[in-house]
Structure 1
Amino acid sequence: MPSSPGRGTSLRPGLFVSVDGPGGAGKTTIVRHLAQLLAAEGEQVHVTAEPSGGPIGKVAATLTATVRGNALACLYAADRYHHIETEIEPYLRAGHLVISDRYVASGLVIQRFDDVDPEFLWQLNARARRPDLAVILEAKPHVIAERLEARGAHNRFQLLPDSSHTEVAYYQHATSCLNAVGYTTLRIDCTSREPQQTAAAIRDHLRTLPAAKEAAC
């Protein structure tokens, strides 16, 4: 999504927001609405996603169907660090508000379907730049399952039996881990919220962050 012209005055320049959650929670739609809301208010917004569009991200996306376990986890972590270095940090330095559709929380979840040790996943991601706000979208597992059935699976993990219940549990554990090491997280239940409402809730929470308050003074 192209960046909007002009720099916003209500939020600190260089703010980084990640949005994660189970497949079917509506991440991409919510990210789009959030970007539109912030751009309309004058913020310079850059939207990105993981796996990234860079060379490692393209390989990771291609190999997701055939590569398993630790190897795939390492490949996704390598893409994350390359993504930070080549895209996220340059846009933050330029004063943009960067929104990433999937980030570290997803890195702590997806490869668990391949029985990768959660501690190993954390060690792989421990040095990744922390977002100013890590949004974790939630929804009732049966609602997510219905949405996945309606839209179709996007990867092999979503084809596993009872994947929605499992992924919800993994995200709850990942959120606890992020909180334990000092991440600023925001959990939002999207079971009955419209995407626009969720995006507005994230926008409003961004204004409560200490950095945002300092910028407004």
Structure 2
Amino acid sequence: MLLVVDGIYSAGKSTLIRGLLKRLDEMIELSVKFTDWNSSELTGDLLPQWKREGRLGAHSLLLAEATDLAHRCEKDIRPWLAEGHVVVADRYATSGMARGVVRGADPEWAAQVFAFAPREMLTVLVECSAQETLRRRQSLGKVLSGYHSGRDFRRTDSVEADFVRYQEEMLGVYRSLSAARGPVLTVDSERTSAEESVEQVLNALPLHNAIGAEPR
């Protein structure tokens, strides 16, 4: 079973994932595997560097992130799924497609590039207003500029305004692309607590089919 948690920057994905991993580990006898975005041995260290250097346009960014995911699918994700594990992914094919599409890549071509990726059992799309993600990011001292705000392909005098605009556009792209990959559960992190969001996700999963679904 492949469970994907996706969404825009600072929407609350990491908080939800931590809660899910804890609950799943308590509920299922099989080990729960986790895979993170841009973390393959081939390109995981290179992608942040290429982004900082401004070397990736719409198509090269999409292909580079597809390469990263393809390597993880071959090395980890497909074997884990074949062994019957529950696999939780922090971002997946939709993220790779969305980042290219928002920069001008054709959506149909983007979908073809990522067609190799095993289909998700469920995508949890974590949503949050762009203004709130800006507040969260600033409060944590996280980066706003560059690829995080779309300033690699369009910029104004205000990085904050660019970040909000980019987040709003990305949210729309996520919504338009995610349903084509399979079932989607939308979670609003501004209106729903982390604990409530975890319960929503667990209720949407076919855990009765998993081995040892009783709490340990």
Letter in 2 for 1:39: D
Alignment partner of 1:23 is 2:12: no
Aligned partner of 2:71: which letter? Answer: H
Pairing 1:200–2:184 present: no
Q: CA deviation at 1:155?
A: 6.8
Equivalent residue number for residue 146 of structure 2: 156
SS at match of 1:188: strand
Q: Distance in 2 between matches of 1:165 and 1:156?
A: 13
* Amino acid of the structure 2 residue aligned with 1:41: M
Equivalence map 1:83-122=2 (5 Å): 83-122=72-111
CA distance in 1, matches of 2:168, 2:86: 28
Distance 1:80 1:95 in 2: 20
Alpha-carbon shift at residue 119 of structure 1 (Å): 3.3
Structure 2, unaligned stretches of length 5 or more? 152-160, 212-216
Query: Pick from 19, 27, 37: which aligns with 1:41?
Result: 27
Between 90-99 and 156-165, the greater mean CA deviation after superposition: 156-165
Q: 1:196 to 1:62 in 2, by over 3 A?
A: farther
Deviations 1:101-137 (A, max 9, x none): 0101211222345433333322221232111111111
Tell me the C-alpha RMSD between the 2 structures: 2.4
Q: Distance in 1 between matches of 2:86 and 2:198?
A: 15
How much does 1:214 deviate? 5.3
Q: Which runs of 5+ in 1 are unaligned?
A: 1-14
Q: Aligned partners of 2:37 and 2:145: how far apart in 1?
A: 14
Which residue of 2 is the match for residue 9 of structure 1?
Answer: none
Q: Which residue of 2 aligns with 1:4?
A: none
Task: Provide the secondary structure at the position in 1 that maps to 2:34.
Answer: strand
TM-score normalised by length of structure 2 = 0.80
Q: Between 17-26 and 52-61, report the one with greater CA deviation.
A: 52-61
Between the aligned partners of 2:175 and 2:66, the Cα distance in structure 1 is 18
Distance in 1 (CA, whole Å) between partners of 2:86 and 2:194 is 20
Corresponding residue number in structure 1 for 2:46: 59
The runs of at least 4 aligned residues of structure 1 exceeding 6 Å deviation read none
Kindly state the Cα deviation for residue 34 of structure 1 after the two structures are TM-superposed. Answer: 0.2
TM-score (norm 1): 0.80
Q: In the TM superposition, what is the alpha-carbon distance from 1:182 to its structure 2 partner?
A: 5.4
Q: Corresponding residue for 1:175?
A: 175
CA distance in 2, matches of 1:72, 1:22: 17
